[in-house]
């Protein structure tokens, strides 16, 4: 019984950051798109063909922000488990 309760408690702690991450992912992507808008040049030459420069910028910023958010969530979970 104790083992089952422990598994349920740990599953709840682990799933909470995952839900927060999925909710924050769209906001992070929107912020990255806004931040990368300065790199978008209308009617630019082949360097920005099909918007690849902006797309790469958005992907890079989103990936970095999500990584930071995951680290923060893991640290918060570890603090809760440790009782801090």
Write down the pLDDT at residue 3. Answer: 47
Instruction: Give the residue among 64, 67, 42, 65 at the shortest CA–CA distance from 53.
Output: 42
Residue 55 belongs to domain spanning: 2-82
Contact in structure between 54 and 36 (CB atoms under 8 Å)? yes
pLDDT of the chain, 84 residues: tens digit per residue: 444 444 445 555 555 555 566 778 889 889 888 888 877 766 666 655 667 888 898 999 999 998 888 888 888 888 888 875
Residue 53 burial (CB < 10 Å; 0-12/13-18/19+)?
Answer: middle
Contact in structure between 17 and 74 (CB atoms under 8 Å)? yes
**Count of domains for the chain:** 1
**What does the alpha-carbon distance between residue 56 and residue 60 come to, in Å, rounded to a whole number?**
6
User: Token match 């488990």: residue?
Assistant: 81
């Amino acid at each position: 019984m104790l083992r089952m309760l422990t598994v349920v408690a740990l599953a709840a702690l682990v799933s909470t950051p995952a839900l927060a991450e999925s909710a924050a992912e769209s906001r992070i992507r929107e912020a990255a798109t806004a931040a990368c808008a300065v790199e978008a040049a209308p009617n630019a030459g082949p360097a920005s063909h099909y918007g690849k420069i902006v797309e790469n910028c958005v992907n890079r910023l989103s990936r970095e922000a999500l990584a930071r958010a995951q680290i923060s969530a893991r640290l918060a979970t570890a603090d809760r488990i440790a009782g801090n």
